[in-house]
């Protein structure tokens, strides 16, 4: 059976009690912690850096941490996130002057590299580097904010990426990020995604276990 990963985005968590909130969402059945790093430069919003990642590790969070860098430049933050306890690190190709070099830096630091593609970024940016990637993060909203609506045209992009990966015989993970809800997750999975980021659809609900269960039920259909 296909393994699906649910990755709550802590962008929508309660920052005043972040450790407990992340612990609760993992106890509720989440697989991975998605960590949205924004710099008010590459995207028009500002969040958190490696210190918070390290604080979560020191608090005792042992689940995989998936860092999504929406920052420019990229390379200076790779080492500090790896040292802070990141497992997966993705970045936007537009934000790196040397994409292959940034991927290698992530690998050299022992993390799993990914490229994050904005809605308007073509799949052709993956040519010549896909073999080095652990995952491709398809943005299904424009990056910068939680709570935006899923862009339906991305369904076809995910399908094309699935074909591209399968034709090359790779097992690159397709991760989707933005506007994922219980009522669209099945369609996104049908298109070929296996890892699902969700912020507001989990953290804005009173019962995290119920929200995650609704995702798993939709995926099991």
By the criterion CB under 5 A, which residues form the site for Zn ion? Answer: 36, 68, 177
**Among 196, 160, 199, residue whose Cα is nearest residue 4:** 196
Options 13, 30, 36, 195; binder of ligand DX5; rule CB under 6 A? 36
Residues constituting the chain: 221
Annotated active-site residue 36? The verdict is yes
Annotated active-site residue 21? The verdict is no
| Residue of 14, 31, 36, 183 marked active site | 36
Options 50, 85, 113, 143; binder of ligand DX5; rule CB under 6 A? 143
Options 33, 154, 197, 214; binder of ligand DX5; rule CB under 6 A? 197
Residue 179 interacts with ligand DX5 (CB under 6 A): yes or no: yes
3-state SS class at 69: strand
The binding site for a divalent metal cation comprises: 34, 36, 68, 177
Q: Can you list the alpha helix ranges (DSSP code H) found in the chain?
A: 18-27, 50-59, 75-84, 99-108, 154-167, 185-191, 200-203, 208-220
Q: Under 8 Å CB-to-CB from 31, ≥6 apart: which residues? A: 5, 6, 7, 63, 64
Residue span 65-104 as binding mask against ligand DX5, x where in contact by CB under 6 A, dash where not: ---x------------------------------------
Taking the complex as a whole, the smallest distance from the CB of residue 167 to ligand DX5 amounts, in Å, to 28
| Strand-by-strand arrangement of the 112-117 sheet | 5-8, 195-198, 173-177, 135-139, 112-117, 88-91, 65-70, 33-38
How many CA within 13 A on the CB side of residue 133?
Answer: 27
Residue 73: cis peptide before it, omega within 30 degrees of 0: yes
With contacts defined by CB under 6 A, how many residues of the chain interact with ligand DX5?
Answer: 21
Residue 56 interacts with ligand DX5 (CB under 6 A): yes or no: no
Residue whose C-beta lies closest to ligand DX5: 199
Q: Are 96 and 74 in contact (CB under 8 A)?
A: yes
Taking the complex as a whole, the smallest distance from the CB of residue 221 to Zn ion amounts, in Å, to 25
Query: Within positions 3 to 22, which residues make up the interface with ligand DX5, using CB under 6 A?
Result: 9, 11-12
- Point out the residues that are catalytic: 36, 177
């Amino acid at each position: 059976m296909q393994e699906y990963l649910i990755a709550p985005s802590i962008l929508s968590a309660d920052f005043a009690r972040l450790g407990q909130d992340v612990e609760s969402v993992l106890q509720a059945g989440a697989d991975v912690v998605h960590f949205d790093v924004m710099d008010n430069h590459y995207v028009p919003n500002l969040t958190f850096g490696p210190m918070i990642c390290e604080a979560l590790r020191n608090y005792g969070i042992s689940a995989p941490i998936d860092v999504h860098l929406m920052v420019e430049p990229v390379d200076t933050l790779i080492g500090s996130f790896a040292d802070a306890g990141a497992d997966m690190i993705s970045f936007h190709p537009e934000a790196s002057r040397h994409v292959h070099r940034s991927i290698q830096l992530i690998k050299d630091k022992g993390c799993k590299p990914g490229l994050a593609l904005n809605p308007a970024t073509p799949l052709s940016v993956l040519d010549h580097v896909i073999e080095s990637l652990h995952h491709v993060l398809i943005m299904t909203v424009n990056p910068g904010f939680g709570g935006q609506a899923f862009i339906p045209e991305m369904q076809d992009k995910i399908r094309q990426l699935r074909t591209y990966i399968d034709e090359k015989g790779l097992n690159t993970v397709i991760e989707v990020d933005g506007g994922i809800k219980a009522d669209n997750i099945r369609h996104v999975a049908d298109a070929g995604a296996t890892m699902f980021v969700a912020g507001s659809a989990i953290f804005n609900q009173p019962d995290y276990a119920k929200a995650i269960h609704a995702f798993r039920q939709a995926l099991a259909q």
